[in-house]
Every structure is written in structure tokens, then in C-alpha cells.
Chains A and B, each alone.
Chain A
């Protein structure tokens, strides 16, 4: 799925293209979390969460370490510390804004929602 030869920034954008993964990154920006803690807000199977985490790890944004039976995930600061971080942050912020705008417009629409808002 991911092109292993892609430049790192492309892989970071690919990783952040998904709203669930963006939410996971935001959660991890506040501090490390176990896989089950990360999964908690989502209505998806644990294996789906693990798949998202694998994409995040292959982008370099997230790393994880297993201690006993608990796998703990952390943000990779070297990726976030680069100037590119601000581009990603601005882009992610706009993605979330436009998604929230879509939700608001759908909520207040007199017409039925055809679900074309991503």
C-alpha cells in the first residue's frame, strides 16, 4: 500500500490523510498511550487500530515499544521537530476545519445528506 521508496514527507502526508490516524497523532502529541487507550475513542476493531498504527510507524511519525503485555506508542520527535512539522500541522488543522465545516453544513442542511463530504 505504501510506496517504500516515497520521500518521507509524502509518507507522512499519506499517513495523515486518514482522520482516525490524525486523531491518533493528536492524542500522542499530548503524551504516550497504550494501543488500547488509543483505540478507546474509535468505533473500530483493535486489529483495525493496529493497522492504522502500522501506517503511522512506517511514516516515522510514531514508534511503539512493548513492555510485558502492553504496547506503548509515542510520537517520534525527530520527525515532528523538522520545519516540515509546521506544514503538516497547518495542513492537518485545515483538514480538520473543513471536515467540521462539512459536518456543520450537513447538520443544518434542509436537504438530505448525500454523504459526499469526506
Chain B
């Protein structure tokens, strides 16, 4: 029987990239070639090459499914809630493990120009469920 629990948490990650915000934004949007985003975002070595979908617009969805060979199956499903080109991207997303929901989160990505570089700030606020193993 599953032991039901919810843990709420927030974490913030920051990076500086030596390219302007438009370049970083383009890597998230991947309008030209979604396989480029799959390579860094839903890395095949983590999620497997099985499935990756991206519809980068407000209300659009992004999903991936897979996992290490012989290991559990992870699924990621996101919805784009807010997009301000070159400045901000907000998604709500959930993760599941072998079909059981393990987390529901809001991820906010802010891009700030710093000279010719970009400061990226990722804030994730989540409900982490049941401590499923």
C-alpha cells in the first residue's frame, strides 16, 4: 500500500552563458529543430530516445518518456503557461515513474542580459509526492 505524503519545496539554480538572451531563448524554443532541444533537455542517455514532443507556445505541451535501459520508465509532461521572448518562460509540469505521479511543479526560467552574456535563473516550486521508490 502506498504511503501518501506531499513535500513542498522550492529550489533556484543560476547559470551565466556567454551568449545573448536571444540565443538562450532560441535553445529553449528550438523552432528550427526540436532534436537540438531533445539533446540537452531530454537527453537520450537519461530519458532514452523513445519519445520527445515539443509545441513551444503558450498552452502548448512538451513531453518525454523513457529511462535507463532495463530500468524504470519516467514520463515528463509540461504545459507552457507563459512565454515572453528572450525574457521569461513558465511551465507547469508533472513527472511520473512507472505510471505513478511523483511530482507536480511550476518551473520559471528568467533570462537577464549581462553585457553580451545571459544570466539564467531557474526557480522550481513543486509538490513532491508519496516518496515512491
> Chain A residues in contact with chain B, CB under 8 A?
29-30, 77, 80-87, 90-91, 93-106, 109, 111, 113-114, 116-118
Contact = CB atoms under 8 A, between A and B. Distances in A.
A77 B128 contact: no
7 contacts: A84-B7, A94-B107, A94-B122, A95-B13, A97-B40, A101-B27, A103-B40
Contacts of B31: none
Nearest to B42: A97
Contacts of A100: 39-41, 43
A9 B11 CA distance: 12
Contacts of B95: 86, 90
A1 to B, nearest CB: 22
Contacts of A84: 7, 9, 128, 131
A100 B6 CA distance: 30
Interface string B8-33: 01010101111100011001000000
B14 to A, nearest CB: 9
B89 to A, nearest CB: 13
Contacts of A118: 15
Contacts, number: 101
Q: Is the interface of A mostly helix, strand, loop or mixed?
A: helix
A93 B103 contact: no
Contact of A104 (B27, B68, B102, B107): B27
A111 B23 CA distance: 12
B11 A82 contact: no
B29 to A, nearest CB: 13
B15 A104 contact: no
Contacts of A77: 133
B117 interface: yes
B120 interface: yes
Q: Among A30, A93, A118, which residue has the most Cβ atoms of chain B within 10 A?
A: A93
B18 A117 contact: yes
A101 B19 contact: no
